[in-house]
Chains A and B, each alone.
Chain A
Amino acid sequence: MSPDPRAPAPRAPGGTTPKIRIRGLKKAFGSNVVLDGVDLEIAPGESLVVIGGSGTGKSVLLKCILGLLTPEAGSIQVDGEETVGLSEREMDRVRRKFGMLFQSAALFDSLPVWENVAFGLIQAKEMKRAEARKLADRRLADVGLEPRVGELYPAELSGGMRKRVGLARAIATSPEIIFFDEPTTGLDPIMGHIIDKLIVKLTSKLGATGLSITHDMASARRISTRMAMLYKGRIVWNGPTAEIDRSGNPYVEQFIHGTDEGPIDIPLQDHFA
């Protein structure tokens, strides 16, 4: 049931240059092959969610695109420009198009909240601190936080607030592409819903392209226009969100229903045998 590697890659809707185009991406850690030939395209303005179980390589895929990990083989193009093999300096130029919301928000705990939000503006865009501060306050308002929160340090915030500050930081530089790593993990369902709404609202406001990874199906349905499923290092299905329930793909069926019977094989030792 593994997909034929020579089959034409899943096409993004529309005939324009894809925002991100991935071909034959491979990454292994020692003998552990994590990505085994990923093909994926993301069209400008769409919101793609990559679903898949824990340990299927979703985070590794994201880190390869961001240039935090170097793949063994394959190609990643951003706006038609090949990014695999770019020097660190050139990659920094490409990264200015990106915004990223980390799973645990990854706020800099030595800096107050407003400086976290303004970090990209001050460092990468060389904006004056006073000006960046004003913009940071606006971004905090965008995610529903008062300006006084800007004075606090990340350690003083709750999980939901941290996530919102992380979101404000991810959008502060008005990036063209925003990555979301498990945006709702660790939040209660209501806060998860609020974060999802903010993600949809802010990406469309910026006209940005979104790429998220998650295993939370409720969240995936809310934030995506298209979904792709990653299993054993390959994309096994990819299609519009509206069609997810009639995909006819046994992997997707099993995943969205969360049953333990199906082609997805999770080896467990049976302690009750």
Chain B
Amino acid sequence: MAEPVVPVIQPLGRAFLAFLAVTGRLVMFASQALSHCFRPPFFGRLIVRQMIEIGYYSLPVVGLTAIFTGMVLALQSYTGFARFSAESAIPNVVVVSITRELGPVLASLMVAGRIGAAMAAEIGTMRVTEQIDALVTLATNPFKYLVAPRLIAGVVTLPMLVLVADIIGIFGGYLVSIYKLGFNPDTYIKNTLDFLIFQDVFSGLVKAAVFGFIITLMGCYHGYNSKGGAQGVGQATTNAVVSASILILSFNYIITELFFAR
């Protein structure tokens, strides 16, 4: 009787157990890493180095993403809103979409591809070439030396990066509205400022901090646990980017719900 069900239930159960195991390992990894973020010694030099890596060197790619997104946003809203003679709402649409959603999410996805992959590859290589074991034998905790500085740098730097992305994105919308759609610059800027609400920007920066944590955590976790030489490191890199992207998108929904659901 029960036999035809077994082949269906068994893989489901196995997948579910595997999911629970991974979640458990991840939570343990994260809590161990976090505890080292708040206990001295702090490696200021390493934190600054990671901040430069995550923030400064991501500026070009994040800036380009933001400016094109802002430009497309203005153009697309215009084609829609012109039908209802609602063109004056364009600055509003640009400002709200960029600060609440597109700035943090797109910037973080770009950074996930750039930084998450690089971290997983670097830490993964250190794992498979015994450099992490060497750290331990030199009485240096790898969580403290490798993971904590990256997490701190990610959480601090991503909001700064997103703030820059917000400004550039809104500026992209401005460029298209003024030079292509013929808006009056003074009115456009006034409307933009009117619609610029603290809570929108703030929620975007909170998202950015959470995404910064997710990106660096995934990069470190997959790198730290990689095994089996070059292939293992490659796998870790892919896993870091994919899992960070999925988590960013799902946490984006959760945070939006927390901030704006009435």
Which A residues are closer than 8 A to B by beta carbons? 63, 66-68, 88, 92-93, 95-96, 98-100, 102-104, 106-110, 119-120, 123-124, 169, 173, 179
B133 within 8 A of A: yes
**Given B130, B137, B140, which contacts A103 in the complex, CB threshold below 8 Å?**
B130
Cβ of A106: which chain B residues have Cβ within 8 Å of it?
A: 129-131, 133-134
B139 within 8 A of A: yes
Cβ of A99: which chain B residues have Cβ within 8 Å of it?
A: 137
Shortest Cβ distance from B32 into chain A, in angstroms?
9
Q: How far is the CA of A67 from the CA of B136 in the complex (A)?
A: 9
**Given B130, B133, B134, B139, which contacts A124 in the complex, CB threshold below 8 Å?**
B139
Contact B130 A96 (CB under 8 A): no
Cβ of B134: which chain A residues have Cβ within 8 Å of it?
A: 100, 102, 106-108
Interface flags for B140-172 (1: CB within 8 Å of A; 0: not) read 110001000000000000000000000000000
Interface contacts beyond A95-B137, A108-B131: sample of 8 additional A-B pairs, CB < 8 Å, sorted by A: A63-B133, A66-B137, A68-B136, A88-B141, A104-B129, A104-B130, A106-B129, A108-B134
- Are A95 and B129 also in contact (CB < 8 A) when A100-B134, A123-B145 are? no
Cβ of B139: which chain A residues have Cβ within 8 Å of it?
A: 92-93, 95-96, 120, 123-124
Which B residues are closer than 8 A to A by beta carbons? 122, 126, 129-131, 133-141, 145
Shortest Cβ distance from B144 into chain A, in angstroms?
9
Q: How far is the CA of A98 from the CA of B126 in the complex (A)?
A: 21
B122 and chain A: residue at smallest CB distance: A110
Q: Could you list 28 examples of A-B contacts with CB < 8 Å?
A: A66-B133, A66-B137, A68-B133, A68-B136, A88-B141, A92-B141, A93-B139, A95-B136, A95-B137, A96-B139, A102-B130, A102-B133, A103-B130, A106-B129, A106-B130, A107-B131, A108-B126, A108-B134, A109-B131, A119-B138, A119-B140, A120-B138, A123-B138, A123-B140, A124-B138, A124-B140, A169-B138, A179-B137
Shortest Cβ distance from A93 into chain B, in angstroms?
8
Cβ of A169: which chain B residues have Cβ within 8 Å of it?
A: 138
The listed residue with most A CB atoms (<10 A of its CB), out of B131, B138, B141, is: B138
Q: How far is the CA of A124 from the CA of B138 in the complex (A)?
A: 7
Q: How far is the CA of A112 from the CA of B252 in the complex (A)?
A: 41
Q: How far is the CA of A103 from the CA of B130 in the complex (A)?
A: 9
Q: How far is the CA of A181 from the CA of B19 in the complex (A)?
A: 37
Q: How far is the CA of A152 from the CA of B145 in the complex (A)?
A: 22
Q: How far is the CA of A99 from the CA of B141 in the complex (A)?
A: 16
A100 and chain B: residue at smallest CB distance: B137
Shortest Cβ distance from A148 into chain B, in angstroms?
24
Cβ of B129: which chain A residues have Cβ within 8 Å of it?
A: 104, 106
Shortest Cβ distance from A89 into chain B, in angstroms?
9
Q: How far is the CA of A88 from the CA of B138 in the complex (A)?
A: 13
Shortest Cβ distance from B209 into chain A, in angstroms?
26
Q: How far is the CA of A158 from the CA of B140 in the complex (A)?
A: 27
B138 and chain A: residue at smallest CB distance: A120
Q: How far is the CA of A262 from the CA of B94 in the complex (A)?
A: 80
B136 and chain A: residue at smallest CB distance: A68
Q: How far is the CA of A106 from the CA of B126 in the complex (A)?
A: 8
Cβ of A102: which chain B residues have Cβ within 8 Å of it?
A: 130, 133-134
Cβ of A63: which chain B residues have Cβ within 8 Å of it?
A: 133
Shortest Cβ distance from B123 into chain A, in angstroms?
11
Cβ of B131: which chain A residues have Cβ within 8 Å of it?
A: 106-109
B32 and chain A: residue at smallest CB distance: A88
Cβ of B138: which chain A residues have Cβ within 8 Å of it?
A: 95, 119-120, 123-124, 169, 173
Cβ of A179: which chain B residues have Cβ within 8 Å of it?
A: 137
Q: How far is the CA of A111 from the CA of B114 in the complex (A)?
A: 22
Cβ of B137: which chain A residues have Cβ within 8 Å of it?
A: 66, 68, 95, 98-100, 179
Q: How far is the CA of A169 from the CA of B137 in the complex (A)?
A: 11
Shortest Cβ distance from B208 into chain A, in angstroms?
27
Cβ of B141: which chain A residues have Cβ within 8 Å of it?
A: 88, 92
Cβ of A103: which chain B residues have Cβ within 8 Å of it?
A: 130
Q: How far is the CA of A26 from the CA of B134 in the complex (A)?
A: 23
Cβ of A104: which chain B residues have Cβ within 8 Å of it?
A: 129-130
Q: How far is the CA of A5 from the CA of B137 in the complex (A)?
A: 31
A-B residue pairs, 3 tightest by C-beta: A106-B130, A124-B139, A106-B134
Shortest Cβ distance from B106 into chain A, in angstroms?
30
B137 and chain A: residue at smallest CB distance: A100
Cβ of B126: which chain A residues have Cβ within 8 Å of it?
A: 108
Q: How far is the CA of A110 from the CA of B121 in the complex (A)?
A: 13
Q: How far is the CA of A169 from the CA of B135 in the complex (A)?
A: 11
Q: How far is the CA of A68 from the CA of B85 in the complex (A)?
A: 69
Shortest Cβ distance from B39 into chain A, in angstroms?
10
Q: How far is the CA of A108 from the CA of B130 in the complex (A)?
A: 9
A181 and chain B: residue at smallest CB distance: B130
